[in-house]
Structure formats: C-alpha cells, structure tokens
Structure 1
Amino acid sequence: MGRRTRIAVLGCGRVSARYREVLGRELADRVEVVGACDRQPERAEAFVSATGGAAVGDLQALVALKPDLVCILTESGNHARDALALLNRGCHVLIEKPVALRLEDAETIRDTAKAAGLMAAVVKQNRYNPAMRFVRDKVDSGAFGRLIAAEVRVHWCRYQDYYEDGWHGTWRMDGGVLAQQAIHHLDALHWLGGPIDRVCAVGTALVNRLEAEDTAAAVVVFESGAVGTIVATTAARDRDFEASIQLVGEKARVKVGGSALNRLEDWFCVEQDPLETDVALRHSQEVPNSYGLGHGPLIRDVLDAIEAGGPPPVDVDSAMTSLRLMHALYASMETGGWVDLRDAPASTRLGRAR
C-alpha cells in the first residue's frame, strides 16, 4: 500500500455526517483528511475534529491544502460550479447526487475532467447495497426473462424546517422530492429495469411549503415495453419508513425495500437454484438511516481507480441517466402530458432562476 490519498470535503451540511464516519473510521487506512470547508466555521470545525485536517472557509483555501480528491457536498445547485472550479485547479472530484441540476452543466463537468485527465466520480451509493447487487446480478443473468412491470415507492419524512434553509425545495438550487430524495430510486429504476422510453408525471406541494413538489407520481414506459410507476413524497409522517423498488418479470419477481433500498423483502424465480437458500437474510443489510452503508465501498472503489488511473465506479454519463429521467418527469409536469426521452426533454425551471 502506497501513501494514503489526500482527501478534503467541500460543504459540511446534512450528508457530511456520513462522510465524517466513513473518512474518519471506515477508510482511515486509505485516506488522509487534509481539510473541510464550509461557510459556517463551526460546521467545518466539527468535521475535522473527528477526521483531522484543517477547517477552512473558502474553496481557494481548501485547494491550498493540496488534496488529491475533493468530495463535493455543497447545495445541489452549486455542484457544477464547485466541480468545475476544483477540476480547473487540478483536483479529482467526487460529487454527491445529483451530479448537477442542469444537463448541460453535467456534460461540461464530464468534458472538463476528460480534457484535464482528472476523475469526476458521482455518488450512487445504493448501487453498492447487497440487495441491489443481488438483483442486478439476476437481471444480468436473464433470470427475470422479459420485464413486465416495475414500481418505485419513496415514503420519507421532511418537516417544514428542512425547507427553511434558503435552498432546499427551490427550483434554482434543488428541486423537490424527485431531485433531492427520489433521485436514488430513479437511478435504481433505470439501473435495474433498463432504459425508459416515455413518462407522464404530476407533482405538487401538498403538506410542506416549497417552490417545488413534496409529492410526485408518474407512469413510465420502458424501451422494452414494460410499464412502471413512481410514487414519491416527503410528506409521510413521522419518519423515513419506505424506499422500495419492485420488479416483475416473466420468470421472477423481487422487492427491495427498507428505508434505503437495503432489504431484500421478496424474491421468487421459477428457475430457482435449489442451493440458493436464505436469500433474503444473506443479501439484506440493516442501516442506521436512509443514507445506507454504500458510501464506504463506493469511495474505496474511487480511491482504487485514482491509484490505477482507471475510470470511476460511477462516472458522469452513468449518473446522467437518472438526471435525464428527472428532467423528463419535470418536463411532463410542466407540459401536462406524456414526454418522450428521445426528445431530450429538459425542465424549464430546475436549476434556473425564476
């Protein structure tokens, strides 16, 4: 093992607690945390108190610490700005979801990283859940046969104070439940079910006060001809109690549930391997919260890719599949009808000033 990768964190808000655990404990053998940056000094100080490194107040000071890799945990609407600033200063970047709010910004991140010979990786931690890996292996092996139907349900809880920080729930900086919470499950829908052809969606703020939606529903038609539904809300009470995806195929069915796509709740296959026993037990995972436990394995793969000079485990193009789907859903809400993904639809509101 060579030297530890010098790593820094930009933004010390809600999700940074998970990074503090992963970088300070789980990956302590692989990384040296050189610093954390936040506009609120006490948040950066709290982060480095657990990981080591310096607390700084701006991006330039963070770059001066000479990190190899910077984890971008800032507001969704600032992901592109921050990623481009860091890439242009010679840093690899790992970007929390979504990679950007606007499609053209995601493409610019991809192209800038490629031109500079740097890595732009994106966090899709649920792809690392044992239950999700099990289902992906079954999809790849053809165990489902033809896909018939798919269903996503996200029943999470956010109270009004969550939307009072100046950026959550705004069109310019965030979007609603589809962009902030269900983006993980849109990714799962495409990753397991395959490309989507067209969508029809509705969304509104039913309980919380925000510019975007706290509740959304959609019908999707896959390129394969399969059909699916999406229901997502942050108006559930009193906790995040379900985040699930179900697939029904000609030869198999599955449900992955829990609060973070962490439990294999149902599995049936007509061609079941008789030696494949205790499937739910072996491929489920208890998690402390809706972030799950996939960040550590994902970041370890990012570190391996940096050392080897290879591609990231989730690159910008892969992350853009869910971003394109999200834009199609918002475009459908805005136009009030079906939207074809082949037309490259884009929301007129998301990531733009009103």
Structure 2
Amino acid sequence: MKNIKIGILGCGRVAQHYKNILNSGNVKNFEIVGVADKEISKAQNYSKNFNCDFFSDLSEMINKKKPNLVLVLTPSGEHFNDVRKSLKMGCNTIVEKPIAMTPSEADSLKDLSIKMNLMLGVVYQNRLNPAIQFLKNELNRGVFGKIITASIRLRWARYQDYYEDEWHGTWKQDGGVINQQAIHHVDVMNWLCGPVTEVCATGGNLINNLEAEDTMVGIIKFKNGSFGTIEATTGLRPKDQEASISIVGDKAIATVGGIALNKIEKWYSNNSNQNEKEIINKFSQEVPNGYGLSHGPYLQKVIDCLNNGSIDAPVNSEDAAITTRIIHSLYASYENNSWISINDKINSQKLGI
C-alpha cells in the first residue's frame, strides 16, 4: 500500500495525543507532510515530531503540500469553517468530535462531502473499543432479547483551569459536559440502542465556573420502546473515575466501564454458555487516559479505506450529524424545561450561538 499524505490542522491538546499515536508504530502507511496552527509557534514546535513543514494557514498547507487527508484538531467552534475549507480544497477530511456546533452546520458539511465525493469522518473512537464492539455484536445477534433500559454514567474531573482558555466551556465554541465529554457516550448509546426519539434533561454548574454546564442528567426514549438515562459531570474530584454504559434486556445484562468505555464490568446472558470472566478478559483493555486506545485503529481504517479507493469513514458524517441533533435536543429540553422530540428538530438557543 502507498503512504497516505496527511496534513494536520490544530496543534493543541488533542494533537499531542495524535502525536503519540502516530509515533507508536501501530498506524501504518502514512506520511505527515505538513502541520498548521494559527499560532505559528505551536505549529513549528509540533512539526519537529514529524520533520515536516509548518504553516499558520490551512489553505497554504494544502496548496503547498497537497495532502490526501486533512486531520482537523482545532477547537470545536472552528470545526465547521475548517472542515468546509478542507473539503472545498479537495481534501478527504477527518475531524475530532463534534462535526460542528449546530445541526444545520453538520448537515451542510455532510452535503458538501457528498457533492465533492470526499471522505468526511468524525472521530467517535469509542465505537471501535473491543468492549463496545462486543456489545454491538451481541445486540445484533439478539442475545439481549427485548431491550429494557440503557444508562450512561460519566464521572470525570475537570478543574477550573481547564475552562480558563479562550474556548472550553463557552456556548459558542464548546458547550459543557454533554457536548465536550459525554458526547462520545451519547453517540455510543444511540449507535447501540437507538434511534433516540425523545429526550428530557436538566443541568447546571455545581462545581466549576463556565458559561455552559458542568453537570447534566437526562431521560431518553428509544424507538424500540426502551428507556435510557444519562448522568454526566466534570465536577468529580480529584480525578476521572468512570465512563460507563449499561444495557439491560430481558435475556442479558452488560456494563462497559473504566474511564473510557474500555472494560467489561458485568456480563450475563441466560442464552449463552459464555463465561463472564472469559468475556471480561477477552474484550477489556487497560488505557492510560480518557481518550482510550481506539484513535489508532480508527486512523488505520481511514488510511486503509483511502488506499482501497473507498471514502466510507469508520464513523460517517450522517451518523455524526445525528449525534449533534441529539445533543441539541438535550440542551433544548434543559432550556425549555420540557420533553423534546428529536424529529421536531428544536435547536438549543445557546449552543453554537
């Protein structure tokens, strides 16, 4: 296979995680041809990791280096403009979550990628976790029987200094815990048990000082008639403790936890000869942080697809747009103190504004 030429836009916090992945040797058949950041000093320093050129502007990087693929790792509120520019300049594009700050922006990017016949993928890497893949396979096989409930619990720690930059926790650039951290888990819940049809939520700032919320709780209704709950906070101290999802059916029950949906903590099926301890050992991972270990497999799938002439991303723009719609519905419920139907397409009056 040939090397896919990659350009990276955004050399901040999450880019350091990508640096570790790309330097690990676990991702093959790529070449970093350029990096860009509006703070040129960040780009210059980051470029040393890959011995590549650095830029302060995406357009210049694309024009001079001609990447096959652009990784957009900028702040959430910049995703729409950055992804749009990358696609319009003819580059396959992968963007960190969320795809954009509003559903209309997400739909616009999806339509543009189709028009340009380019890959547009969004990094919801937890779908590729072995534990989550196990749940998906068992759900598809009908092992759970009739689904009764699903629940998310995210209990993480973000101190005030996390929100003291120019964008974290702001309505225009980021949102709160449900759009910055728990969006991964909402995406997984909908992928496993959805589609989500209605939501009801409330939240607030209980520990930290930010424009958006540091804590949200919610109730979910699914098309299949089952119910779900969400509990998410960044107010825990002193460190991240849990990021879990549980599914209860009339024939099986499972909990995937750890700090990054990385460990099977409970598995029981009355129609299976599978030993719980064997399942836990086979599909659980130890992870160093809340990012988990699935960015590498995600990127490898992207590279392999492009090498095989495919533009089907591991998580495509349509799925990502649905997740953004659910997030806006949760915020709209919180703001209006009412149940919100996903099909009514009621947006938050704050997020992305």
Please, what TM-score do these two structures have when normalized by structure 1?
0.96
For structure 1, which segment, 172-181 or 31-40, has the greater mean C-alpha deviation from structure 2 after superposition?
31-40
1:74 match:
74
Partner of 1:351: 352
Q: Does 1:24 pair with 2:27?
A: no
State the one-letter code of the partner of 2:98.
Answer: P
> How many residue pairs are counted as aligned between the two chains?
351
1:197 is displaced (CA, Å) by 1.6
**Change beyond 3 A, Cα 1:301–1:28:** closer
The answer on 1:210 being equivalent to 2:230 is no
Query: Is the 8 Å Cα contact of residues 23 and 33 (structure 1) preserved in structure 2?
Result: no
Cα distance in 2, alignment partners of residues 113 and 243 from structure 1: 32
- Residues 163-205 of structure 1: per-residue CA shift (max 9 Å, x gap): 1111111111111000000000001110111211211100111
| Residue matched to 1:329 | 330
Structure 2 vs 1, CA of residues 284 and 28 (structure 1 numbering), >3 Å: closer, same or farther? closer
8 A Cα contact 2:27 2:300, kept in partner: no
Match of 1:258 in 2: 258
Unaligned 5+ residue runs, structure 1?
none
Structure 2: which amino acid aligns with 1:96? E
Q: What's the offset of the Cα at 1:222?
A: 1.1
**Residue identity opposite 1:331 in structure 2:** A
SS of 1:50 mapped into structure 2? coil
In 2, Cα distance between equivalents of 1:322 and 1:161? 28
* AA in 1 matched with 2:192: L
Q: C-alpha root-mean-square deviation of aligned residues, in Å?
A: 1.3
Map of 2:56 onto structure 1? 57
Q: Tell me if structure 1 keeps the 8 A contact 2:7–2:70.
A: yes
SS at match of 2:24: helix
What is the TM-score of this pair, normalised by structure 2? 0.96
8 Å CA contact 1:23–1:51 kept in 2: the answer is no
CA separation in 2, counterparts of 1:318 and 1:108? 14
* Offset, 1:156: 0.7
State the SS of the aligned residue for 1:188.
helix
> Where do residues 1-354 of structure 1 align in structure 2 (5 Å cutoff)?
1=1, 3-27=2-26, 29-63=28-62, 64-274=64-274, 278-310=278-310, 311-352=312-353
After TM superposition, the structure 1 stretch with the greater mean CA deviation from structure 2, 22-31 or 131-140, is 22-31
Q: How far has the Cα of 1:6 moved from its partner?
A: 0.4
- 8 Å contact 2:124–2:315 — kept in the other structure? yes
Gaps of 5+ in 2: none
| Partner AA of 1:312 in structure 2 | A
SS at match of 2:289: coil
Per-residue CA deviations over 1:288-339 (Å, capped at 9, x if unaligned) read 1000010111111111221222211211001122211101100001101111
Q: Assess if the C-alpha contact under 8 Å between 2:27 and 2:299 holds in 1.
A: no
Asked if the contact 2:126/2:260 (under 8 Å) is kept, the reply is yes
How many percent identity over aligned positions? 43
Contact 1:26 1:296 in 2 (8 A): no
